[in-house]
Structure 1
Amino acid sequence: MEIVRSALRSHPDRIGDLRVTAVEPSPRGPMVRWTGGPEQPRSVEPVAGGGSFLGPVAGPLILEGAARFLAARWRHGAPRIAKTWDRDLEVAHPQIFQFGPCSGGGWSWLWQSSAEWIEERGVPQSFTTDDTKEKFGTLRWHYRAIDCTDAIDDIVEVAEALSGAICEGCGAPGYPRQGGWVKTYCDRCSNGRARR
């Protein structure tokens, strides 16, 4: 719940009534089911002079992304980060990752679950990942596709939002930490860095 509550900080109106109702087996791993939580769709506000401003990604999508991350993390029993996790993702999802993601292994399940989600929605034929990295404590996923859909944009934004609540070192609940750079770590991986 810590990961979800932290990722939903831009949706303070309905976090209080969020409850886990079940953990169900699935081919993806154990899927968490929720009740309550934010239900509002993503806001789109017009900007003076034309254009629009998109609000935070919709709360239900963050809940879906969190359930997928947790399922990937627990798919094969107790979470263990493979030394070759980045190469494994490149091999398992060649349409998504032409090279392994550049981040700590704690986010490996976030990259994996997001890639699987995109594949379920249908990878656009022209989809290319240009860059993957950590910046200011959250992941960045730069991609392009001529025929990209809003669904893929939303999946990537969900991954970015969740990464600020997941330890980049081990995948446990984490918080942005201060130091020379901002990094998202759990207490165990933080090496004494204070929460931001």
Structure 2
Amino acid sequence: MTDMSVIHLTDEARQIVGAAFEGDPACRDVIVLPGKWDESEGLIDLFITVPTGPAVHPTGAWMPQRQDVVELVRRVINARSRRWDHARLRPHALPEDWWTPVRNEYEFLRAGAEFASGWIDLLIGMSGWLNEHYDGHWTTSQTKEKFGGLRVYSDRGDERSEEIITAAEWLSEFLCEDCGAPGRLRKRGGWYRTVCDAHAQEGGFE
């Protein structure tokens, strides 16, 4: 069971990284290899190789540092693996108050969650990374979905904290807001959401 779980989660990481760097010519040969399964820590040591430096978008749009994206993908997949159902090859269902344990764990997360629970692993990955740089002097004022992506409003701390938050906001457009699986930004009329193929069909998104 664990071997299949590692394969499935590695494939999810590969899809997310591939979509995130699709327009970056330097990342055409990204390598994503399985990590190892630790019974207490989940999937760790996921191997992803990309060139260093800022990602390059063909239209010139802003993109975060490639290594920041890779590190955040590793953290997201690790968070996802820690609530993994090996029999069904998907995360266990979340409780209704899924946001409360996350907010209780990280002092700076004072705002409520104005988005669907599929982004929980992204929030955990981002928050765990921020916690390594947290100086105790700032908090979030709002975490919400806007134009299909995550937005985290805060009186941010140092430059590194801001880079981590903006990388998480950017990566949210490749993770389904409903279930956390690989997804993309889609449109239905004037409404934008980032969803996977299954939830796009369910919600009528293009």
TM-score by length of 2: 0.78
The aligned counterpart of 1:184 is: 194
State the identity %: 27
1:172 is aligned to 181
Contact 1:10 1:56 in 2 (8 A): no
Q: Is the 8 A contact 1:87 1:99 kept in 2?
A: no
Instruction: Look up the match of 1:66.
Output: 73
Shift of 1:10: 5.0
**TM superposition shift of 1:182:** 0.5
How large is the Cα RMSD of the aligned pairs? 2.4
CA contact (8 A) 1:103 1:133 kept: yes
How far residue 27 of structure 1 moved from its aligned partner, in angstroms, is 5.9
Q: How does 1:1-196 map to 2 (within 5 A)?
A: 1-9=14-22, 11-20=24-33, 22-23=35-36, 25=38, 28-41=41-54, 55-78=62-85, 79=91, 80-93=93-106, 95-121=107-133, 123-145=134-156, 148-180=157-189, 181-190=191-200, 191=202, 193-195=204-206
Instruction: Give the unaligned 5+ runs of structure 1.
Output: 44-53
* Contact 1:11–1:59, Cα closer than 8 Å, also in 2: no
Per-residue CA deviations over 1:50-105 (Å, capped at 9, x if unaligned) read xxxx9521101100000000100111322133321112222122x22113321110
Change (3 A) 1:38 1:112: same
Gaps of 5+ in 2: 1-13, 86-90
Q: Select between 33-42 and 111-120 the one with higher mean Cα deviation.
A: 33-42
Give the direction of change, closer, same or farther, for the CA distance of 1:56–1:16 in structure 2 (3 Å limit): same
Partner AA of 1:71 in structure 2: N
Give the number of aligned pairs.
Answer: 182
Bigger drift between 5-14 and 98-107 goes to 5-14
SS in 2 for 1:132: strand
Distance change in 2, residues 1:12/1:82 (3 Å):
farther
Task: Give me the TM-score of the superposition, normalised by structure 1.
Answer: 0.82
Deviates more, 1:32-41 or 1:62-71: 32-41
Deviates more, 1:80-89 or 1:27-36: 27-36
2:33, 2:47 within 8 Å by CA — same for their partners in 1? yes
Q: Which residue of 2 aligns with 1:47?
A: none
